[in-house]
Amino acid sequence: MSAGTGTGTGSEAGMAGTRGFAILRGGVADAADTAAQAERLGYHAVWSPEFYTRSAVVSLAAMAQVTSSARIGSSIAYAVGRTPLVLATEARSLDELSGGRLLYGLGTGTTKMMSGWHGVDPSGPATRMEELLPLLRRLWRLHEGPVRHDGRFYHLDLTPSAEMTEPVRTGIPVYTAGVNTRMVEVAGRVSDGFIGHPLFSARYYDDVVRPAIAKGAARAGRNPADVQVAGMVICAVSDDEEQARREAAAQIAFYAAPRTYGTVVEVSGFGAAGEKIRAAFAERDFGAMAAAVPAEMVDAMSAAGTPTQVAAKLDEFARYMDHVIVYPASFGMTEERSRQNTRDLLPAGAPPPT
Task: Give pTM, 2 decimals.
Answer: 0.94
Q: Model confidence at 34, in pLDDT bands (50, 70, 90)?
A: very high
State yes or no: pLDDT of 9 exceeds 50: no
Q: 263 to each of 130, 137, 142, 194, 257, how far by Cα in Å?
A: 23, 33, 41, 19, 12
First and final C-alpha spacing in the chain: 21
Q: What is the pLDDT of residues 254-298, one digit of tens each?
A: 999 999 999 999 999 999 999 999 999 999 999 999 999 999 999
Lowest mean pLDDT among 8-12, 70-74, 217-221, 313-317: 8-12
pLDDT at 350 over 90: yes
Domains and CATH numbers, the chain: 18-231+306-348 (3.20.20.30)
Burial, 159: exposed, middle or buried (Cβ in 10 Å; 0-12, 13-18, 19+)? exposed
Q: In the prediction, which pLDDT does 63 show?
A: 98
Per residue in 134-165, pLDDT (tens digit) is 999 999 999 999 999 999 999 999 999 988 99
Confidence class for position 1, pLDDT limits 50, 70, 90 = very low
CA 72 to CA 9: how far, in whole Å? 20
Please provide the DSSP assignment of 224-274 as one string: GGGSEEEEEEEEEE-SSHHHHHHHHHHHHHHHHSSGGGHHHHHHTT-HHHH
Average pLDDT over residues 39-60: 97
* Residues present in the chain in total: 354
Report the pLDDT averaged over residues 4-17.
Answer: 54
* Average pLDDT taken over every residue of the chain: 94
Q: Stretch 301-317: mean pLDDT, rounded?
A: 98
Give pLDDT tens digits for 184-223: 999 999 999 999 999 999 999 999 999 999 999 999 999 9
- The predicted model gives 218-229 an average pLDDT of 98
Residue 11 has pLDDT above 50, yes or no: no
Do 19 and 314 contact (CB within 8 A), yes or no?
yes
Q: Is the pLDDT confidence value at 74 over 60?
A: yes
Residue 14 confidence class, pLDDT cut points 50, 70, 90: confident
pLDDT band per the 50, 70, 90 thresholds, residue 340: very high
User: pLDDT band at 353, cuts 50/70/90?
Assistant: confident
Secondary structure letter of residue 116 according to DSSP: I
Task: Determine the residue type at 352.
Answer: P
Q: What is the predicted pLDDT for the residue at 226? A: 96
